[in-house]
Amino acid sequence: MHGHSGPMQRQDQSRYCWRGGQHAQFIRALTVLVGLALSLVANPAAAQTSTTYSNTTTGTISETATTCTSPMVRNFTVSANAQVTDVNIGVQFSHSYRGDIRATLVSPTGTVVNLITNLGAGADNLNVLFDDSAATSITTHSANDNTAAAPPYQRTFSPEGSLASFNGQGSAGTWQLTICDSLNGDTGNFTRADLTLTTVPMAPSADLSLTKSVSNAAPAVGASINYVLSVTNASGSALTATGVTVQDMLPAGFAFTGASGFGSYNSSTGVWTVGSIPPGTTRTLTITGTVTATAGATITNIAEVSASSAFDFDSTPGNGAAGEDDYDTASFTVSGTRVAGTPPTLVCPVGSTVHDWDSVSWTAGTTSGSYALAAIGTMNFNISISGGVFLNNATYGGQSPTRQNVVTGGFSPAQFSIFEIVDMTSQAGSVSSVFTLPTAVPGVQFRLFDIDYAAGQFADRVTVTGSFNGSPVTPVLTNGVSNYVIGNSAYGDGTSADASANGNVVVTFTAPVDTITVEYGNHSLAPANPGQQAIAIHDVTFCRPTANLTIAKTSSVVSDPTNGTTDPKAIPGAAMRYCILVTNNGSGTATSVNVADALPAATTFVPGSLRSGTSCAGATTIEDDNASGGDESDPFGASITGTTVTATAPTLAPGTALAIAFDVTIN
């Protein structure tokens, strides 16, 4: 028998002497504690499990063995299905010039996360554990990695994308690591990869699926057609899905006219607000519109469940994964045979200036240049890229952007143009080419070559915008045989050869413009990782600037002898204020502007009342009554001689105005 190590202490009996109210509180508290304990036993915390899957199948990594259109794929097969809460992946390979490499991780549902995309420049090898919780991003990694056996991996970085994109998905299926070499000249070898999935048991779920169809797959231009969307909660689901929305942004080429069915649809945001869907229930929406695309155009509409309260084991709302069952598309092709359109005739009142790429220089690989334009001034031309890289191709003049005459737009003899050949990493990648003019011009016209399409590789999209004094200006685009036009965008949907005119698009501005932006990328027919693609910008015709002056005169009664300034009337003795406003609505600067205004009969000029400015409300700068002195150029001048008021301006730039105000007395 074990004894107490010290003298036994007498317990204070008062601890057990309870008044009635205290006893009741104790019992209630005890009941709560017992209830909580039972709850914890009935609903134990879901245990997280981490499992690592390895792939050690070696292989060559090079621009020929593992292109970005046919990359190296390393699979990880997961048989047990659980809910993913965290994903890490270690990747090891040797390769000189790591900046050539792109790597992604793809889940069984099709979600793609970029691990590394052309990072590290000339550094060698990769021996990295990708982990969202790492303190440093892979974008900062510029050192060589070793080739010592892994794991453990030499370094830990967070990837370019977010591995948390996989959280909430089911784990079962084939996970894929893809690796490709996007540039020439260096090779390496894949060693191994280790995928670690942290999961919890599947939560109760609602299995949502979406279908989309179109009422006429070959409508004519102007026809009315319907899209029908249906979202279903499977009969075997454990939960009613609430807060369900579907994203369906209507495509260019389809003009919305109405919607009917369950819930509500906002054509501006593309959101169908569905609400709740019990198990075994389908909700349906019909969207009606008119076909506005040109003949031969294929229009694809994408819809996806964008929000739901319930976990769905085989799809994630709003992740853009085409392989999931909450995502669907519907397409129609406009009937008829497409022919190249006829562009508007560019009318230049005072002649034109042509920027001809045959007669100017361009160093291959540069992204900017300045060029003198007769009667206009110096034009700046700048090119920038986002989400891709310019390529070096000797056939087309070397390192892009470059000047070449292989892609000719059908011109014979061949003419030079600026060529932009690129490799985009996603549909969102783009190249922007910007013309900046020293002054606005009344019109512009130029051609773009090679706006086309190659199935499984790219789908050219070009959007052209302009501006005048900061306000947007929209051009007219004219299609070729291999593309169609909607608004100020052209979409490639057919193939055009290098020397063909089929891929041409003509851009015409018929209103004043001082900045032009050509944005080039892909539309929805392109794969997630488009291949090599290119366009060319041909010669540009600028209408020479010309001023266009308009004049307006306004008047108001300031005061009268009877009413003062309160509701004054134009009676004898009243003070009347006039304002003359001259506006340059043209694209050229007006010079030596001179305005004369004779005083109305039966009025007398009020000495010292002349004021100038850029608007009638802002005409507050004091002008004396004579035509000399510094006030004549501050920046406007004003004077009176006899009964004639004169206003002058040495220059009046496009979009600016001259205002002169003065007072008279009614006799």
Low-confidence ranges of the chain (pLDDT < 70): 1-46
* Alpha carbons 548 and 589: distance in angstroms, whole number: 9
What gap in Å lies between CA 437 and CA 373, rounded to an integer?
9
CA distances from 14 to 10, 22, 28 (A): 12, 13, 21
pLDDT number for residue 17: 30
Give yes or no for a contact between 410 and 362, defined as CB atoms under 8 angstroms apart.
no
Residue-by-residue DSSP string for 345-383: PP--TT-EEEE-GGGS---TT--EEEEEETTTEEEEEEE
Spell out the domains of the chain, with CATH numbers in brackets.
Answer: 49-200 (2.60.120.260), 208-333 (2.60.40.1530), 352-543 (2.60.120), 549-666 (2.60.40.740)
Please give the full DSSP string across 267-321, using - where no structure is assigned.
TTTTEEEEEEE-TTEEEEEEEEEEE-SPTT-EEEEEEEEEE-SSB-TT--TTS--
**Which of the 8 DSSP states describes residue 14?**
G
d(CA 438, CA 514): 7
292 vs 286: CA distance, rounded Å: 19
Contacts of 207 (CB under 8 A, 6+ apart): 233, 234, 236, 237, 312, 313, 314
The reported pTM is 0.56
Task: Give the pLDDT confidence score for residue 46 in this predicted structure.
Answer: 54
**Nearest to 546, CA basis, from 588, 513, 592:** 588
